[in-house]
Amino acid sequence: MFYRENGQFKTSYVADQQIFPVWQDRVAIVFLLGVAFIAVPLLAPEYLFRAILIPFLILSLAALGLNILVGYCGQISLGTGGLMAVGAYGAYNLLVRIDGFPLILALVMGGVFAAVIGVLFGIPSLRIRGLYLAVATLAAQFFCDWAFLRITWLTNNSSSGSVNVAGLNVAGWSVDTPAERYLFCLVFVSFFALISKNLVRGHIGREWMAIRDMDVAAAVIGIRPVYAKLSAFGVSSFIIGVAGSLWGFVYLGSWEPAAFNIDRSFQLLFMVIIGGLGSVMGSFFGAAFIVVLPIVLDQVTVALGFDTALASHLTLMIFGSLIVFFLIVEPHGLARLWTLGKEKMRLWPFPH
Amino acid sequence: MDAGQGEDAPLAIPALIKSCLFARTILLLKLMMETKLKESLRTFTMAVALAGAALATGLSTGVAAAADAREQFFPVLTYRTGAYAPNGVPFANGYVDYLKYVNTKGGINGVKVTYEECETGYATDKGVECYERLKGKNATVFQPLSTGITFALTEKVANDKIPLITAGYGRSESADGMVFKWNFPLTGTYWDAADVLIQHLGKKEGGLDKLAGKKIALVYHDSPFGKEPIPLLQERSKLNGFELVLLPVAPPGVEQKSTWLQVRQSRPDYVLLWGWGIMNSTAIKEAVATGYPREKMFGVWWAGAEPDVKDVGEAAKGYNALALQHGAEPDSKIVKDILKDVHGKGQGTGPAEEVGQVLYMRGLSAAMLAVEGVKRAQERYGKGKAMSGEQVRWGYENLALDQKKLDSLGFAGVMRPISTSCADHRGAGWARVHTWSGKKWEFSSGWYESNESIIKPMVRAAADKYAAEKKIERRLPQDCQT
Amino acid sequence: MGFFLETLIGGLMSGILYSLVALGFVLIYKASGVFNFAQGAMVLFAALSMARLSEWIPRWLGFESLLLANLLAFAGAMIVMVVVAWLIEKLVLRRLVNQEGVTLLMATLGITYFLEGFGQLAFGSDIYKIDVGMPKDPIFLFDQVFQGGILVNQEDLVATVIAAGLVAGLAMFFQYTTTGRALRAVADDHQAAQSIGIPLDRIWVIVWAVAGFVALVAGVIWGSKLGVQFSLSLIALKALPVVILGGLTSVPGAIIGGLLIGVGEKLSEVFIGPMLGGGIEIWFAYVLALLFLLIRPQGLFGEKIIDRV
């Protein structure tokens, strides 16, 4: 009754092809952005920013990047942590070696470095597929782990292998307080979300999806697999690299290579699977789930009186069971539950 | 409550409850899976409700707890799970037991001690999350027991005005209090450890000059923790003329076969072990498997505790490690007091057999230093009142624990006098060497003090480099009075 | 030269140990098409059961004999692994029939987390001992020919013999028993096997139980070498390149792949490592597997991947 496309006629192609054709959707998005940009910075307590919102934003950006590769192009990658590390260390090197290098450019260049490395490690995908590719990308992950520990030039010859960044500032405006950092990340995330949505709706996105569904058939009808796969790796690695540099600069402040290890790669893959493969919104759902759930579980189990070790084990167990549960109940992830809900809303109050 | 780790983990009631919960969860899952779509929508709304609960939790945790004027809150960052748990658990038990002991003695001049544990699993991001969650509760001091988390928190504590004690670990340059206002590597850093080891090896050889031409291998955990001693060892190798062979081991250190084959090939005169967690026992087992004599192995003070040698037993006999002032001290007064006042009343955090073991004593000493800093702060800012982070920081900067005071606390024979100052946040640089006899740790050397003439310039240079990178100024002497 | 031989032998034997873990992967993939990422967690869980039961059973039943304790603990751990296999089939596999590979992979990752948490909950996070009487001291061969002799690790030697026995036993099981034949039929073609009346779900329970048994043997050997602790599950990460190199569907591939990876790893770490600063073995195995795959995308002995469009 309230949410339907009835009566909303479009009179131009541009209007017909917009991301949110239903005006109720547009209102909802504007409201969401309003809350995110205005209400949250004013109202939320500091803990929420530092421990939940900022990691959520940055990890959802990384999940978005990974979703493009895994969800839209169908190439499983377990090297995400390594690519985040490339982004973070790349940005760090530029900032530390070139005086006065602008922060945003450094973060973006971190993404560019990650894109280059990502394309390099994506070359095997032209020959290997499926699970074999997943294991091959682990080579990238472990190599990056090792490189940042061993090649001291990359960590500015720090004896401990750990690096730290001085205060962040963008053209004089210093990004200090948690609310400012949150807004900084939010700008990046909104920008990349918009770009990715348009990319996957466009012709390159359709090429990716064709490769995902049946790459031999796609090659037969004239889609160049080299171009499609490598561009997927490139775009995805770029976004992941930017997310990695944000993670190091904005969230951690000081990091060592272990911050981007294989656990991070698995965490991101979980986000993408649980959130929904092949869905921009799904990346956000998945990130929210994976960031918030362990914290909630920890709080609940400790509040129930279990000691921290027990709480930690229960968290692991519940986490694992929930992953299996979601895969059984809704293999297409939370995003699918969301779209189902919207479809039900279109018909409401009628059952069918 | 026993975390299920001790030898006599009772399987009875807790396990029944656990298995009942588990069975019920399985049944619930089964029920949910039978009816797919409708239930999945309901699950989705549940998930949304959960998210709402999460936000509510976040909002409520963020609000600073109304500070009870008569309570001092100590956050306890621990790891009782994961690859480093065998060493993390006794430390945590020692720390918490001491806090409970302080309460049985009436608190800190009447101020009650409260604490909360937070599981970090030795992971930096979880450590940061624990820090963010607990700092809002008027946290007194943080002791992360992880060099990685220390690096991350060093950035944050200056803004949040909460001191960070890294007793026996962390950044070696943080001993320079004029740059690192909020870091306190009390009782020693890794440069002190490496220096003492070289002095001991020199003594064994009959003089530091006899080390020239010898080969010393460093088998280290490939992380900031393991790499910390390298600058000092390289400096010493230039000074004393020995050859340093660096052998990194990928964390967590379960695969060391090729490392020890390399040790066998290069035939070093001594092997220094810089490991933590499972890496230590694996190293000793691999040394047994390749026939490297354990008498020539010397571990850092984090590689010399019971969990590392217990299951190797007799084969580890002769393995040496540094003792950070104390070793295993089952006969000390403080151990007897704790067994009586804490464990005797059923309040013990871990099993009673653990009390007096090396890492337990480490946790005990770390907690003692934390509490003594608060006491010192109270001397200036008001006895019997709860102290803020800034006030406690002054306390740590002006610690003056002489032997008489330590003895009255029950630490006779466990710790030596320690006194910090504005410029020196380390306070003491003493260590000994102890050796595993096959059944227990026994001291095998006298006291060594680390060589300030070598370490001080290195600390100064590294601290200056940090200050230049972070664009912060050295503190002025006037600042020391605040 | 002597040192090269020593590293070679060491590499071969550690390769056998990896292939013990890889065997579990291959068995499950062959019969149920699932890439069981949880194999490492299963090795850990089996080893934990064995270690803790060998501690608790003498205490409950009140006897001292180590041999009896070990035998009973082994039997107990075997029962635990069969129960785990049955539960996994009932709760996870049955509901995910016909899903794509990624979904099944993720489901096994979920099982990994669950087993890791549950294992630590039930058995603890400390380092536990498995004492099956393996010899710990090394033996030195040819010490007249080479200085210092060639080091041969006795424990690894025993492990090699056990692994050979296990593979022979599995081969006989698959060839000469009815169940083995049914397993081979299911591995060949699920639908055809179903159509002639082979009960798929029971076969899957049996396969996972056999893989659990292999995990138990691997767990006992690794646990006896390194001590049983949470980090044992990371051994599975080392077994992945073995599986990929040898081919996901081939048992001899797991063995040969293991040998190749073991040798490659140790030789590279010892001889190339120092030039690059050390610590390269973690990625070398994967890069080696990757290079092989570029030449032969299905692994050494795997089935050629045929796409029908």
User: Each residue of A227-263: pLDDT tens digit?
Assistant: 999 999 999 999 999 999 999 999 988 888 888 988 8
Residue A84 placed within a domain: yes
CA–CA distance, A138 with A91 (Å, rounded to integer): 23
Q: Which of A216, A199, A246, A185 is nearest to A67 (CA)?
A: A199
C286 with A277: Cβ contact below 8 A: no
Question: Are residues B338 and B469 both part of a single domain?
Answer: yes
B254 with C226: Cβ contact below 8 A: yes
Task: Tell me the pLDDT band of C202, cut-offs 50, 70 and 90.
Answer: confident
**Three-state secondary structure call for residue C289:** helix
Residue C79 predicted with pLDDT over 90: yes
B119 with A298: Cβ contact below 8 A: yes
Average pLDDT, integer, range C13-17: 88
CA–CA distance, B292 with B322 (Å, rounded to integer): 19
Contact A258, A141 (CB under 8 A): no
Measured CA to CA in angstroms, residue B249 lies from B180, B227, C13, C185, C278 at distances of: 30, 11, 20, 45, 8
CA–CA distance, B151 with B131 (Å, rounded to integer): 13
CA–CA distance, C256 with C292 (Å, rounded to integer): 13
Write down the pLDDT at residue A247: 94
Residue A18 predicted with pLDDT over 50: yes
Give A72's DSSP letter: I
Q: Where is average pLDDT lowest: B57-61, C12-16, C279-283, C303-307?
A: B57-61
Write down the pLDDT at residue A287: 95
Query: Can you say whether residue B78 is alpha, beta or left, with left for phi > 0 and alpha for psi between -120 and 50 degrees?
Result: beta
CA–CA distance, A250 with A55 (Å, rounded to integer): 9
Residue B240 placed within a domain: yes
Question: Are residues B180 and B272 both part of a single domain?
Answer: no
Question: Are residues B261 and B347 both part of a single domain?
Answer: no
pLDDT in tens, A192-228: 999 999 999 999 999 999 999 988 899 999 999 999 9
A309 with B5: Cβ contact below 8 A: yes
Q: What is the CATH number of the domain that holds B368?
A: 3.40.50.2300
Q: Which residue of A has its CA nearest to C240?
A: A135
Question: Is residue B33 within 8 angstroms of chain C, CB to CB?
Answer: yes
Which residues in chain A have their CB less than 8 angstroms from residue B231's CB?
159
Question: Are residues B473 and B373 both part of a single domain?
Answer: yes
Contact B229, B196 (CB under 8 A): no
A216 with C290: Cβ contact below 8 A: no
Question: Are residues B169 and B211 both part of a single domain?
Answer: no
A136 with C125: Cβ contact below 8 A: no
Average pLDDT, integer, range C13-30: 88
Angle at B356 between CA B355 and CA B359, to 5 degrees: 90
Question: Are residues B364 and B353 both part of a single domain?
Answer: yes
**Mean pLDDT for chain C overall:** 86
Residue A197 placed within a domain: yes
Write down the pLDDT at residue B4: 38
Question: Is residue C268 within 8 angstroms of chain A, CB to CB?
Answer: no
Q: What residue numbers bound the domain in which A141 lies?
A: 20-347
Query: Closest Cα of chain B to A49: distance in Å?
Result: 9
Residue B50 placed within a domain: no
Residue A57 placed within a domain: yes
Write down the pLDDT at residue B61: 47
B257 with C266: Cβ contact below 8 A: yes
pLDDT in tens, A28-50: 999 999 999 999 999 888 888 88
Beta bridge partners of B419: B400
Q: Cis ω on the peptide bond leading into residue B75 (within 30° of 0)?
A: no
**Three-state secondary structure call for residue B108:** strand
Among B306, B323, B340, identify where a domain stops: B323
Kindly list the partner chains of chain A, i.e. chains with 3 or more CB atom pairs below 8 Å: B, C
Alpha helices of chain C — where are they, by DSSP H?
2-32, 39-61, 66-88, 101-123, 154-176, 178-188, 190-195, 200-226, 235-246, 251-267, 273-276, 281-295
Residue C90 predicted with pLDDT over 60: yes
Question: Are residues B206 and B317 both part of a single domain?
Answer: yes
Residue B13 placed within a domain: no
Assembly ipTM: 0.88
Q: Which of C172, C180, C209 is nearest to C28 (CA)?
A: C209
CA–CA distance, B354 with B330 (Å, rounded to integer): 9
Average pLDDT, integer, range A115-124: 92
What stretches in chain B show pLDDT beneath 70?
1-69, 482
Average pLDDT, integer, range C178-193: 84
C113 with A314: Cβ contact below 8 A: no
Residue A182 predicted with pLDDT over 50: yes
Which residues in chain A have their CB less than 8 angstroms from residue B59's CB?
44-45, 48
Number of other residues whose CB lies within 10 A of the CB of residue B434: 23
Residue C149 predicted with pLDDT over 90: no
Sign of CA dihedral B197, B201, B202, B206: positive
Number of other residues whose CB lies within 10 A of the CB of residue B204: 17
Residue A338 placed within a domain: yes
Write down the pLDDT at residue B268: 93
Q: Which residue has the higher pLDDT, A204 or C233?
A: A204
Question: Is residue C294 within 8 angstroms of chain A, CB to CB?
Answer: yes
Write down the pLDDT at residue B15: 46
Which of A160, A252, A316 faces B152 most closely, judged by CB atoms?
A252
Contact B195, B234 (CB under 8 A): no
Write down the pLDDT at residue B5: 41
Residue A11 placed within a domain: no
Q: What is the CATH number of the domain that holds A171?
A: 1.10.3470
CA–CA distance, B115 with B134 (Å, rounded to integer): 10
Q: What residue numbers bound the domain in which B394 lies?
A: 71-189+331-429+455-481
Q: Which residue has the higher pLDDT, C175 or B284?
A: B284
pLDDT in tens, B165-221: 999 998 888 999 899 999 999 999 999 999 999 999 999 888 888 888 899 999 999
Question: Is residue B281 within 8 angstroms of chain C, CB to CB?
Answer: yes
Write down the pLDDT at residue A22: 87
Q: How many domains are there within chain B?
A: 2
B315 with C3: Cβ contact below 8 A: no
Give B176's DSSP letter: B
Write down the pLDDT at residue C212: 92
Write down the pLDDT at residue B38: 55
Write down the pLDDT at residue A305: 79
Which residues in chain C have their CB less than 8 angstroms from residue A322's CB?
110
B222 with A310: Cβ contact below 8 A: no
Which of C3, C95, C229 faces B33 most closely, judged by CB atoms?
C95
Buried b (16+ CB within 10 A) or exposed e, A168-188: beeeeeebeebbbbbbbbbeb
pLDDT in tens, A286-303: 999 999 888 888 888 778
Number of H helices, E strands in chain A: 16, 4
Write down the pLDDT at residue B12: 46
Query: Closest Cα of chain C to B4: distance in Å?
Result: 5
Read out DSSP for A99-152? TT--HHHHHHHHHHHHHHHHHHHHGGGGT--HHHHHHHHHHHHHHHHHHHHH-G
CA–CA distance, C239 with A210 (Å, rounded to integer): 33
CA–CA distance, A295 with A283 (Å, rounded to integer): 19
Question: Are residues B231 and B249 both part of a single domain?
Answer: yes
Question: Is residue C276 within 8 angstroms of chain A, CB to CB?
Answer: yes
